[in-house]
Amino acid sequence: MDLFTLLQDHAAVFLLMLTRCSGIFLIAPFFGSLNIPVQFRAAAAFLFAVVLFPVVDALGIVAAPSTMLAYGVAVLSELFIGWLIGFVAYVCFSAIHMAGKVMDMQVGFAVVNVMDPTSGQQIPLIGSFLYNLGIIVFLVTNGHHMIITALAESFRMVPILTMQPNLSLSMIMVNFVNGIFLTGMKVAMPVTFAILLVNVALGILARTMPQMNIFVVGIPMQLMIGVGVLAMLLPFYVMFLGGMFDEMYGKISIALQALQ
């Protein structure tokens, strides 16, 4: 093998690695935030590929596809692997958004939305607070390091050009998305149950004292009870986030194993 062919294969493999590294910057929490400039994300993906290239190259020589069509399919498959790692992490934070929507609807903040610069969408008030707190806990507990570790480990679990389509991956992704509703309801259940008790008490009060304007009393009471219960639950919410992030890392491994 001459020097030109060797360099050609190395360059092609490096571009495939760069494509996989770029996948996590499309949707992963913190890495795929829209408020991070595209130039910075592209430079970070390039640096990840440069650092990981010697390690991946030591695993064995990879022959680049000989045709443009085959190489294009390889690019899409590598981009999908990186996107899948970010998607699993994104699903966990989507559960936080759902929990915030449920809480806002019960407390009375359903009509209040704020612009989230990380996603470019309008999200509920409590959902924005819980999401930002989740990002802080994610960074403090070195969750972003675990995403990078999962990316590096993916080159060992699913080497370059070895991804095998598996029908079980579709069911795994469906179960992950289904977990959004289950996890969201777990987070929102204490506040929802507290507001339910308040509504029952207000209903009894309205029957016993018909002359009282229950709407004037009920709306401020729901706000105070909801925000108070949320404030008391914050320490437990942080502990819950730690367990959810540990589960997220396990889900990433399961998703990568489905591609072997």
Structure confidence at residue 9 as a pLDDT band (50, 70, 90): low
pLDDT digits (tens, 9 = 90+) for 195-226: 888 888 888 887 887 777 777 777 788 888 88
CA distances from 36 to 31, 49, 127, 206, 215 (A): 8, 19, 21, 52, 44
CA distances from 86 to 147, 151, 154 (A): 8, 9, 12
pLDDT digits (tens, 9 = 90+) for 18-59: 888 888 888 888 888 777 888 888 888 889 888 888 877 777
pLDDT > 60? residue 4: no
C-alpha to C-alpha distance for 98 and 92, rounded to whole angstroms: 10
Please report, to the nearest 10 degrees, the dihedral formed by the alpha carbons of residues 208, 211, 216, 220 taken in order.
-30
Q: What is the mean pLDDT of residues 140-164?
A: 85
Q: What is the mean pLDDT of residues 74-87?
A: 88
Helix (H) or strand (E) holding 81: helix 68-107
Specify the pLDDT at position 158.
Answer: 83
Q: What is the mean pLDDT of residues 77-82?
A: 88
